[in-house]
Chain A
Amino acid sequence: MTPGLDALSRRDLLRAGAGAALAAYGLAGCGIGHGIRGDVNRVIEPKVDGDLFYFNYSQYINPALVKEFEKRYDVRVIESYFDSMEGMLAKLRSGNAYDVMFPTAEYVQRLIQQEQVLRIPRDKLENLDNIYGYFNDPWYDPDSAHSVPYSLYITGIGYRADILGDLTGSWDDLANEEAAGRIYVLDDYQEALAAGNLRNGFEMNTVVESELNTTEEWLVGLKPLLRGFSVDTITTMSSGNAWIQHLWNGDIINIRYRVDDPDAYVFEKITQDGFPVGSDAFCIPVNSEHPGTALLFIDFMLDPKNAAKNVSWNGYPMPNHGQDETFQELAKGDPNIVVTVDDLEGGDQFANLPQDDRELWTNTFLEVKAS
């Protein structure tokens, strides 16, 4: 036998296995990475109580505004990033303490259910009146008690009008033969399945297995035409790799900032089949150590002048009347990127699916990717 490994006998292995089984039994029901805990009803005031630990997608807020906030309140803003809602949850569950984060609507609902976000004292925010009335009592956060909306988005298709001309307004444009080998679908199970569900005439949030199987077949059928799955939509389009990219409305603004011929890059709203519409929001995690500074930051971003500055950099509309004119100007050449209250009220928003249904969705997408 190999020296050093002689000591590892069958008995040792059996002991280790039994030890693992006992440990598993003893720990049964205990949470792994138990997440963050705290008093959701903690009373907080908008005042400087330390530096701000900010947790968001990267490049989703105007850095000039961050600097302005730092200067105005003499605090530092320490930025951390996630690249998906699931990644955000994973980092939260590890016990990291952030002061402000930006979950999407269904994740706000989930965080409220898990008691992981603080109640926001709405009466203490000076600029809340600028927010669209729709968000006074949104479906995901009754009475808007735990969140303040940040931005709006719709999912559609970005494409090279200079090469492809006009498209049809349907999710079938992701199967455009002329662009074969230069098409990307979002590497996001919700968005990919939503496109398929809507294209096939199903409810966007369907959990009917036969319908999801049909969507899966459609996505697998797309694969020979695809160049890849990617959420790095700005890079794929601005680098010339993509002629058609499944993407969010604000990204087309960012793409146009980076290319020589901005008018060639167009956003298509999928009016024929329907499209996902959504929002994300400011939330304060229940274990925030500086919630006062977080409230000041939220109020600062709600200021109409700052909202206008943010959208002109970000490209995503905010549900804030202060930015309406600025965003209309930005969207002048491309009204498809505007998100209206009608879109929110009548459109398809992602639901906070229960665990079994979510597993069905993620397994369906896994089968698409692995096949």
Chain B
Amino acid sequence: MLAPAGVWLLLLFAVPMGIVVLVSLGRTDPIFEAVYGWHPGNYADVFDPLFAPVLLRSVTYALATVALCLLIGYPIAYYIARFGGRWKTLLIAAVVLPFLVNYLVRTYAWVAILSDEGLANGILQDVGLAENGVRFINTSWAVIGGLVYGYLAFMILPLYAALDRMDPALIEAGKDLYGNRWQTFWHVTWPAAFQGVVAGCVLVFLPAVGDFISAQLLGGPDTYMVGNLIQQQFLEAQNWPFGAALTIVMMGFLLIWMLLYVRSATRASREASA
């Protein structure tokens, strides 16, 4: 029964990752072609102090993205799950629909919206809120905004799934026990849907930390992220082995979070069935 999934994982995950590991141990020859070899020194180069701020920045942006996605996504998911009624499917479809458009195209749309002579500044100037306009683009906040926009659906969907699964009677019970809205939410809704929160946070954090498009199109001179670094090594520097080593180390770092999530989900599942 597990064979099809196993074959799928082998062909589309294990084999490609194995190739990336082998590439990371290679070197670049004098005519700039990457060749296989045994050069584990590529991994030592990853820990050059020069890259520490880049990694820290990437994690900071990703955490900010998670926080904003949670702040924006939770109310949306809650409303759809609790009050969507027969419109639930349509509302979820509305959340997912923009993601049928390529991520790069959507980010370019934000370039047009946030530019100095773009839509946002046009509106602000027309209503008299900012006579000289506001610098939105080429800032850290533009990058984080682009990441939030890019990954918000990954927060909303698991949250919606968890909230939709929750028995509404639990909320009624909370109110019956003289809990006000906030107490009922904090003591009943939040714990009941917590696995959805964890899933959403992981699904947003993992791709956000490695993103490069938002930083490239919306960022400024000081918004370089680890995804840009990897892109630069593969394309500009033609240094595939070092780029692969960076990729493996980043994946290792992200795997830790993934394993924590799996552990948390498994524990929650055991507790639920106990």
Instruction: Please report A residues at the B interface, Cβ cutoff 8 Å.
Output: 2-5, 20-21, 23-25, 27-35, 84, 86-87, 89-90, 93, 110, 113-114, 181, 187, 189, 223, 226-229, 232, 235, 239-241, 354-355, 358-359, 362-363, 365-367, 369-371
The residue of chain B having its C-beta at the shortest distance from the C-beta of A190 within the complex is: B236
Looking at A30, A110, A181, A370, the one whose CB has the most chain B CB atoms below 10 A away is: A370
Report whether A359 and B36 are in contact in the complex, using a CB–CB cutoff of 8 Å. Answer: no
Bound complex: CA of A248 vs CA of B94, how far in Å? 42
Closest Cβ–Cβ distance, residue A155 to chain B (whole Å): 17
Chain A contacts of B138 at CB under 8 A?
A: 227-228, 241
> Chain A interface: which of B18-26, B69-77, B148-156?
B18-26
- Given known contacts A113-B31, A228-B221, A181 and B135 CB-to-CB distance under 8 angstroms: yes
Closest Cβ–Cβ distance, residue B211 to chain A (whole Å): 16
Chain B contacts of A354 at CB under 8 A?
A: 30
> Chain A interface: which of B4-12, B50-58, B82-90, B192-200?
B50-58
Bound complex: CA of A362 vs CA of B235, how far in Å? 11
Chain B contacts of A28 at CB under 8 A?
A: 35-38
> Chain A interface: which of B113-121, B158-166, B178-186?
B113-121
Chain A contacts of B240 at CB under 8 A?
A: 32-33
Report whether A27 and B22 are in contact in the complex, using a CB–CB cutoff of 8 Å. Answer: yes
Report whether B263 and A2 are in contact in the complex, using a CB–CB cutoff of 8 Å. Answer: yes
Q: Which of B23, B36, B111 contacts A239 (CB 8 A)?
A: B111
Bound complex: CA of A89 vs CA of B239, how far in Å? 12
Asked whether B234 is an interface residue with its Cβ less than 8 Å from the other chain, the reply is yes
Report whether B28 and A241 are in contact in the complex, using a CB–CB cutoff of 8 Å. Answer: no
Bound complex: CA of A33 vs CA of B34, how far in Å? 8
Bound complex: CA of A20 vs CA of B26, how far in Å? 12
Can you sample 21 A-B contacts with CB below 8 Å? A2-B262, A2-B263, A27-B22, A28-B38, A29-B35, A84-B235, A86-B235, A228-B138, A232-B217, A239-B112, A239-B118, A355-B30, A355-B31, A358-B32, A359-B28, A359-B237, A362-B238, A369-B224, A369-B232, A370-B224, A371-B53
Chain A contacts of B217 at CB under 8 A?
A: 232
Chain B contacts of A84 at CB under 8 A?
A: 235-236
Chain B contacts of A90 at CB under 8 A?
A: 234-235, 238
Bound complex: CA of A24 vs CA of B229, how far in Å? 25
Looking at A24, A113, A229, A367, the one whose CB has the most chain B CB atoms below 10 A away is: A24
Chain B contacts of A3 at CB under 8 A?
A: 266
Chain A contacts of B147 at CB under 8 A?
A: none
Asked whether B145 is an interface residue with its Cβ less than 8 Å from the other chain, the reply is no
Report whether A367 and B50 are in contact in the complex, using a CB–CB cutoff of 8 Å. Answer: yes
Residues of B within 8 Å of A, CB-based: how many? 51
Chain A contacts of B22 at CB under 8 A?
A: 20, 23-24, 27, 32
- Given known contacts A20-B18, A23-B22, A369-B228, A29 and B33 CB-to-CB distance under 8 angstroms: no
Asked whether B191 is an interface residue with its Cβ less than 8 Å from the other chain, the reply is no
Chain B contacts of A34 at CB under 8 A?
A: 33
Q: Which of A25, A86, A235, A355 contacts B236 (CB 8 A)?
A: A86
Report whether A366 and B237 are in contact in the complex, using a CB–CB cutoff of 8 Å. Answer: yes
Chain B contacts of A20 at CB under 8 A?
A: 18, 21-22, 25
Report whether A24 and B25 are in contact in the complex, using a CB–CB cutoff of 8 Å. Answer: yes
Chain B contacts of A35 at CB under 8 A?
A: 33
Chain B contacts of A5 at CB under 8 A?
A: 259, 262
Report whether B221 and A223 are in contact in the complex, using a CB–CB cutoff of 8 Å. Answer: yes
Bound complex: CA of A87 vs CA of B115, how far in Å? 27
Q: Which of B25, B33, B262 contacts A31 (CB 8 A)?
A: B33
Bound complex: CA of A291 vs CA of B67, how far in Å? 55
Q: Which of A29, A187, A189 contacts B36 (CB 8 A)?
A: A29
Chain A contacts of B32 at CB under 8 A?
A: 89, 110, 355, 358
Closest Cβ–Cβ distance, residue B137 to chain A (whole Å): 6
Asked whether B219 is an interface residue with its Cβ less than 8 Å from the other chain, the reply is yes
Report whether B229 and A370 are in contact in the complex, using a CB–CB cutoff of 8 Å. Answer: yes
Bound complex: CA of A355 vs CA of B33, how far in Å? 10
Asked whether B222 is an interface residue with its Cβ less than 8 Å from the other chain, the reply is yes
Report whether B232 and A239 are in contact in the complex, using a CB–CB cutoff of 8 Å. Answer: no
Report whether B111 and A362 are in contact in the complex, using a CB–CB cutoff of 8 Å. Answer: no
Asked whether B220 is an interface residue with its Cβ less than 8 Å from the other chain, the reply is yes
Report whether B35 and A362 are in contact in the complex, using a CB–CB cutoff of 8 Å. Answer: no
Report whether B137 and A241 are in contact in the complex, using a CB–CB cutoff of 8 Å. Answer: yes
- The 4 nearest A-B residue pairs measured at CB: A27-B36, A240-B117, A239-B115, A362-B237
